[in-house]
Amino acid sequence: MILYGAPNPAPNPRRVRIFLAEKGIDLPETLVDMRKREHKAPEFRAKNSLGQLPTLELDDGATISETVAICRYFEELNPSPSLFGQTALEKAMVDMWVRRVEFVLMNPVGQYWRHAHPYTASLLTQYKEFGESNRETVMSAMKWLDRELAEKPFVAGDAYSMADICALTTIDFADWIGLKMPDDLPHLKAWHDRVTARPSANA
């Protein structure tokens, strides 16, 4: 199989790399040059009609996109250590927290990047006032996550999971685009230190 990806700071390929590192799976990425827009070229769109990275191509030519779906595929093939939960309730909680991180935190980070950041201004039509409004939304989301992390070590509960990987990559990308975690969020900061200390965070 071939894993098409891109280097940091792109948050989506990193999510899969961290997951593979946690699983102990060695699968080097085939890099696609996003600055040259190779991921939007017809050859790549034949693999992923949306032109997104990462994309996983299986030996029979089937392709899987969306980071969480790619990770779920590897979870099914290599169930241990579990990163999507094992019981029905654990699986539901990981799914719930992945979604909460995506909808509550990742979406406004993405909208800020898309509509307010100078880097994307030359590539896309920006609605700047809306884009800027997402800074406050992101800060509120981080405060909410801080409160949620007051009484549990990881985002979905007692165990490190896919939800931590989603939150870590989002918060690190947010930092890189200028949406820094406020200093007065001790639980979020302690969680960030905890997950960053894992070797997988270097991926």
Among 65, 161, 169, 200, the residue binding a second copy under the rule CB under 8 A is 65
Helix and strand numbers (H, E) in the chain are 9, 4
Beta strand extents in 127-192 (DSSP E only)? none
Among 10, 91, 139, 189, the residue binding a second copy under the rule CB under 8 A is 91
Closest CA to 51 of 112, 4, 2: 4
Among 125, 151, 193, 197, the residue binding a second copy under the rule CB under 8 A is 125
CB atoms inside a 10 Å sphere around CB 119: 8
3-state SS assignment for residue 22: helix
Q: Of the ranges 19-27, 85-93, 164-172, 186-194, which one interacts with a second copy (CB under 8 A)?
A: 85-93
CB of 199 to a second copy, least distance (A): 26
Among 68, 138, 149, 185, the residue binding a second copy under the rule CB under 8 A is 68
Is residue 180 within a helix (H) or strand (E), and if so which, with residue range? none
Parallel/antiparallel/unpaired status of strands 29-31 and 2-5: parallel
Q: Which residues bind a second copy (CB under 8 A)?
A: 49-50, 58, 62, 64-66, 68-70, 72-73, 76-77, 87-89, 91-93, 95-96, 99-100, 103-104, 107, 115, 125, 127, 129-130, 133, 144, 147-148
